[in-house]
Structure 1
Amino acid sequence: MTELPAYYLPLGRDGDHEHFMPTEHTVSVWGDELQHGGPPIGLLARSLLRHLPDPAQEFTRVTVDILGAIGMAENRIHTTVLRPGKQISLLQSELSVRQEDGTYRTAARAQGWRMATAQTSEIGFVPVPPMTPSPHEIEGAPGMTGIGPLVGDWATKGFAGTLDCRIASADPEGGRQVWVRPTLPLVAGETTTDIEKFFTVLDVANGVGSPLAFCEWTFMNTDTTVHLYRQPVGEWTGIHAEMAVGPQGYGLTGAELYDGAGAVGRSAQTVLIRSLG
């Protein structure tokens, strides 16, 4: 595949659907025929954010369910308003992948709640302090090198290799802390907004928080849910992630999320855990 300077190439619109071609920069560490969860989540969030935008409302919660393998063939997105309202509204985006027979299979679905904004700065309270040190005080490394199980090709393959990552804390006790930003546009020819960059990198929390060795275990997440108490600003996203591993093959990765000014929200991912032995 030809080297391309974005995660997706736009292929135009067909009625209510937008079409995109994923590039090699979306490839997952779990297989060359799969996309990493990050770019599809970013693409779904982009569609939610750009569908009938209301300047009086902001997204406060977005949940993405991965319904099946997100392949490298043509992707299409369809977005609808499920629940309109002046105070609260609910939007949904679906990502489908083109099959060999020309039909499309739904592979992921995102739902986002928007709430009308109001002035509450005088009672504002954030339960966690800003993440330190800042990314500008930390030396970077190729891809996600040096983060727990992220070693060798795992750290630099496909999407992971396109990220600029700075390790704030590599100690697994209490969770690892990293700053991360994408180095490519989400869609070729577009300016990726700060919040679109934020959603594009959030899926890496699962790898950041994992105590498991990649050569011994798989730990794929089936969903990502993000709750925001303000909108993220800037190129960098801070992730303080920790995985809880249960006794029956599944677990949970929870993360505090930050921008340069402090905490902005939290994420949670359900994790399917399997031994490679």
Structure 2
Amino acid sequence: MPETTSCAAADAVAAENARSYYRHLGENRYESTIHSQGAWNTHEQHMAPVTGIMTHALEQYQPRADMRLARLSFDILGLIPAGEFTIETMMLRPGKTIELLQAELIANGRVAVRATAWRLQKGDTSSVQAYEDEPMASLESANSWDGMNTWPGGFIRSIEARVNAGHRAGRGRVWLRTPFPMLDGGAPSSALVRLLGLADSANGVSARMDPSSGGWMFPNVDLSLHIYREPEGEWLGLDTHVTMAGDGIGLTSAVLNDRKGPFARSEQILTVRPFPSAS
């Protein structure tokens, strides 16, 4: 089953002292706090805030007012160690109207996560604007929810959750918010960073198997996000579907909502396997 915290008192002190998911150590160096702690292991980072801090780095890299990030694809190359790390960002494909960026999170001498991002030129297309994804039921109609407490870890404890009617295992309708900024001491994060910093939670809000049962584990090895509208606000709505094939592979799909409605889609491919024997 997911590794439980062996030093609960120390974690409580760390949580009391931490005011953000990450501390900026200067230039491209960062340090994770207890709020970034993962659910599968206590000594790793959760992919949700990792997504947020890497999105922040990509936003800050040679920004152009006439362009925005439209697709981000994250490959998780192994356990993401807690503690200090760097983010190396570069341009893979420059262009007047289309650019491809890359960011790598490097910890303990290896690349733990690699992200690529398409940045596209903006323009006035209001005359052909159209949406097909169905919006979630409103935040006002949702109820307070402690279902995320099935999962351990500092990141899970850092978020507030509400649930809409119709939520069940394999089919989730949950709203999430965090009181913590992505980085300490700086300007507020963009709405994109705040909300994408919660998006990896999709694999946990409507899991088909209870992670506390010790039966099955189902971590995702990637996260792909297609952002067709710039989001707003602090609340992220996750309208999720979880598919499990019979050969060890699964998929978590979600439509991402802010309070105005859908703004993106996400996909996470899963490796499904029994928990390792305790012996």
Q: What TM-score do you get using the length of structure 1 for normalisation?
A: 0.89
Matched, 1:181 2:177: yes
Kindly report which structure 2 residues correspond to 1:186-265, keeping only aligned pairs within 5 A, or say none.
Answer: 186-190=182-186, 191-214=188-211, 215=213, 216-265=215-264
Measured in 2, the distance between the counterparts of 1:119 and 1:96 equals 38
- 1:12-33 residue CA offsets vs partner (Å, 9 max, x unmatched): 02xxxx0011011111111111
| Alpha carbons of structure 1 residues 173 and 96: separation in structure 2 relative to 1, 3 Å | closer
Matched, 1:130 2:135: yes
- 1:187-241 residue CA offsets vs partner (Å, 9 max, x unmatched): 1112121110111000000112321121221110000000111111111111111
Alignment partner of 1:31: what SS?
Answer: coil
Match of 1:117 in 2: 122
Q: Report if the CA contact (8 A) 2:169-2:207 is conserved.
A: no
The structure with the greater share of residues assigned to strand is 1
How many residues were matched structurally? 259
How far the C-alpha of 1:172 sits from its partner, in A, is 2.6
Alignment partner of 2:201: what SS?
Answer: helix
Measured in 1, the distance between the counterparts of 2:242 and 2:121 equals 33
Alignment partner of 1:206: what SS?
Answer: helix
Q: Report if the CA contact (8 A) 1:169-1:176 is conserved.
A: no
How far the C-alpha of 1:140 sits from its partner, in A, is 2.7
What RMSD in Å do the two structures reach over aligned CA positions?
A: 1.6
Q: What TM-score do you get using the length of structure 2 for normalisation?
A: 0.88
Matched, 1:8 2:22: yes
Q: Which residue type is aligned with residue 96 of structure 2?
A: K
Alignment partner of 1:199: what SS?
Answer: helix
Match of 1:68 in 2: 78
Q: Report if the CA contact (8 A) 2:237-2:256 is conserved.
A: yes
Matched, 1:271 2:275: no
How far the C-alpha of 1:265 sits from its partner, in A, is 1.5
Q: Report if the CA contact (8 A) 1:62-1:226 is conserved.
A: yes
Alignment partner of 2:265: what SS?
Answer: strand
Measured in 1, the distance between the counterparts of 2:117 and 2:89 equals 11
Q: Report if the CA contact (8 A) 1:61-1:114 is conserved.
A: yes
Measured in 2, the distance between the counterparts of 1:157 and 1:72 equals 12
Matched, 1:79 2:79: no
Q: Which residue type is aligned with residue 144 of structure 2?
A: G
Structure 1 segments unaligned to the other structure (5+ residues): none
The structure with the greater share of residues assigned to helix is 2
Match of 2:162 in 1: 166
Measured in 2, the distance between the counterparts of 1:212 and 1:232 equals 31
Q: Report if the CA contact (8 A) 1:209-1:253 is conserved.
A: no
Alignment partner of 1:171: what SS?
Answer: coil
Q: Which residue type is aligned with residue 207 of structure 1?
A: G
Alignment partner of 2:177: what SS?
Answer: strand
* Percent pairwise identity: 32
